[in-house]
Amino acid sequence: MSVDTATVKRVAKLSRIAITDERAESMQSELNTILGFVEQLQEVNVEGVEPMTSVVDMVMRKRRDEINDGNKAEDVTANAPMSEDNFFMVPKVVE
């Protein structure tokens, strides 16, 4: 399978990465090189094989459903490019 420039632009949109027309064209050939490389997986017989969900044979640890951390609003927002009173600031989203 290979992608055309329209697909590259659609994927860029889904990825939330701005892309110029010129870059979309060069990206198209780069992505097709990679997709061409992974194409060889089609020759593997995977009939009846379960897809891997956990690489190590162990049961995931569960913890009690209780609050054991928190009240760190200042820490959480400390690295934000824009914040006010421990709120993240974003461009207006509701008119």
Phi, psi torsion values for 85, nearest 5 degrees: 50, 45
**Residue from 52, 66, 70, 85 binding other proteins (CB under 8 A):** 52
* Minimum CB distance to other proteins, residue 65 (Å): 14
Tokens of 82: 């824009």
Phi, psi torsion values for 23, nearest 5 degrees: -70, -35
Strand partners, 87: 84
How many other CB atoms are found less than 10 A from the CB of residue 11?
A: 15
* Minimum CB distance to other proteins, residue 31 (Å): 6
Binding site for other proteins (CB under 8 A): 1, 3, 7-8, 11-12, 14-19, 27, 30-31, 33-35, 37-42, 44, 46, 49-58, 60-63, 72, 75, 78-82, 88, 90-93
